[in-house]
Amino acid sequence: MTINTLNAANKPIKIQAVKGMNDLLPDESALQELFEDTVRTVLRSYGYRLIRTPIVEPTGLFIRSLGEITDIVEKEMYSFTDSLNGDALTLRPEATAGTVRSAIEHNWLYNAPQRVWTMGAMFRHERPQKGRYRQFHQVSVEAMGFEGPDIEAEQIILLARLWKNLGLSNISLQINTIGNLSERTEHRHRLIQYFEENLDLINTDEDAKRRLYSNPLRLLDSKNPAMQTLINGAPKLIDCLKSDSLMHFEQFKTLLDQANIAYTINHRLVRGMDYYNRTVFEWVSTALGTELTLAGGGRYDGLFEQLGGKSKPACGFALGIERVMLIWKHSLSARNITHPKGIYMPLAYIVHAGIGTEKLAANVAEQLRDAHLFCVKHAGADSFKTQLKRAHDSGAMYALIIGETELEKNQVIVKILATGQQHSVSLNDMNALLLYLSSNQEVLGKIA
Ligand code: AMP
């Protein structure tokens, strides 16, 4: 295949990002980093350790784990053939399958259960719209080797803490139990029977018709308005559940009650992947008008065996980073909180002009960094005026100004940017400057 990178006039074609795949721009990234730091801190405080798995996995991994008759596998995967060896590969649409693959391959569950998490890009070929992208990012959190409902309750409590730490309210929790395989098989029989009694309507809906025998559970997820009355009257899985599953769900609910976590039971909640069993949950926000699922997950006790490993109970969830950022930005502006630039605001911006001053400026900058003070040294030969404007724009508290006079006297002018006050400080005793810069932070914080 030849790919044209020049237009008819032999000029480079302007290349743009793939539709549904976005850039994170520098003006957005302070908030993004704050979010990621908050996530890391919360996850660490519950004992979760970071793992990373490849973005590309064998296509079979997803077919085997998510299920052949699912939206993701049927129509959303970015799959391709490796031109070197003909392997069927796929850009990961989610991270649980890869994490389980890794646990089996490296046997890292051999002597104890593990809490792990990862964060990164996922790919689904969906129709892009607000909150739905083709490359998006998830925080994927997995607790493997844990059997009891306490672990999924803990994951929900963890998420509630994350919402609280972000200052997000009005995110509601929906829960359901989808039983184990034999209970689901029983439900499946009852569903097929029920839908067969209503074939006229089923035959008007292509997806429903196709899924009636392959995956009737997914019919319950249909957004087709004509199907809703039929769906509402369908046999409920809860009526097929035996005592073990019911007990698991009861205990899970009790744990949420004890933690004062409000929830609604949504018997129609079925997740988009086939590997789930028993508990499933979703956190939903309506802050932007329509319902937006921010995070969803549940148990997947059968997945290890399904992928050829030893049986291990497990539970996890994925949080959609772009969606949480959307809601968070909305919430911050509703609370009149401007985007914090904080983490990118240097304490000092070093301005220098004149022969030989660059060397001194670089030297001072490194000494500040040695003392863990965050500074930016102006790069390039611009005028003092331009450099001071950059200093203001950076949000720094001080400009440290070095001209030829300062170089000669081995000193800097410290300018407090908020007030315009300035005075000279000798560099003969660097500690004096360091102390001055750090001790004034609090006072100056108030002025600013
Ligand atoms: P899932 O892996 O489908 O259970 O999704 C978990 C979370 O990932 C969802 O609740 C969303 O927040 C997010 N998510 C899923 N698909 C997309 C997408 N195409 N674009 C943006 N976020 C997504």
- What pLDDT score does 448 carry? 35
Residue 1 has pLDDT above 80, yes or no: no
DSSP string, 248-272: HHHHHHHHHHHTT---EE-TT---S
CA 420 to centroid of ligand 1, rounded, Å: 49
CA distance 403 to 412: 8
CA 265 to ligand 1 centroid distance, Å:
21
Model pLDDT for residues 74-98, shown as the tens digit of each residue: 999 999 999 999 999 999 999 999 9
Judge if pTM exceeds 0.95: no
Output the residue whose Cα is nearest ligand 1's atom 13: 320
The SS3 call for residue 225 is helix
Number of residues that this document lists for the chain:
448
Ligand 1 centroid–CA 444 distance in Å is: 43
CA dist list (Å): 47 to 51, 113, 288, 365: 13, 12, 33, 38
Spatial distance between the Cα atoms of 292 and 321, rounded to a whole number of angstroms: 12
The string of pLDDT tens digits covering residues 313-365 is 999 999 999 999 999 999 999 988 876 667 788 999 999 999 999 999 999 99
> How far apart (Å, rounded) are the C-alpha atoms in residues 346 and 351?
13
Q: Is the dihedral of CA 174, 180, 184, 186 positive or negative?
A: negative
| Mean pLDDT of all residues in 385-390 | 96
**29-56 pLDDT per residue, tens:** 989 999 999 999 999 999 999 999 999 9
pLDDT at position 443: 42
Task: Looking at the CA of residue 323, tell me the nearest atom of ligand 1.
Answer: 12
pLDDT in tens, 141-177: 999 999 999 999 999 999 999 999 999 988 999 999 9
For residue 54, give the DSSP letter: -
Judge whether residue 27 has pLDDT over 80: yes
The C-alpha atoms of residue 163 and residue 418 are separated, in whole angstroms, by: 34
Q: Percent of the chain at pLDDT above 90?
A: 74
- Residue 21 pLDDT more than 70? yes
pLDDT at residue 447, rounded to an integer: 35
Q: Whose CA is nearest to atom 18 of ligand 1?
A: 132
**Ligand 1 atom with minimal separation from the 293 CA:** 10
**What secondary structure letter does DSSP report for 113?**
-
Cα(148) to centroid(ligand 1), Å: 26
Pocket test for ligand 1, best of 22, 136, 139 (most atoms within 8 A of CB): 136
Helix ranges, 172-242 (H): 181-196, 199-202, 206-214, 228-232
Best of 19, 21, 65, 138 to mutate for ligand 1, by most ligand atoms within 8 A of CB?
A: 138
Q: Which residues contact 224 (CB under 8 A, 6 or more apart)?
A: 205, 207, 208
Assess whether pLDDT exceeds 50 at residue 434. yes
* DSSP secondary structure letters along 117-183: EEEEEEE-----BTTB-SEEEEEEEEEES--SHHHHHHHHHHHHHHHHHHT---EEEEEEE---HHH
Non-local CB neighbours of 260 within 8 Å, separated by 6+ positions: none
Minimal-distance CA residue to ligand 1 atom 12: 320
In ligand 1, the atom with minimum distance to the C-alpha of 128 is 19
Q: Is the confidence at residue 444, as pLDDT, over 70?
A: no
Residue whose entry in the numeric block shows the structure tokens 């929900």: 156
Of 150-159, 195-204, 435-444, which range is least confident? 435-444
Q: Which of 176-185, 297-306, 338-347, 402-411 has the lowest mean pLDDT?
A: 338-347
Q: Residue 291 class from Cβ within 10 Å (0-12 exposed, 13-18 middle, 19+ buried)?
A: exposed
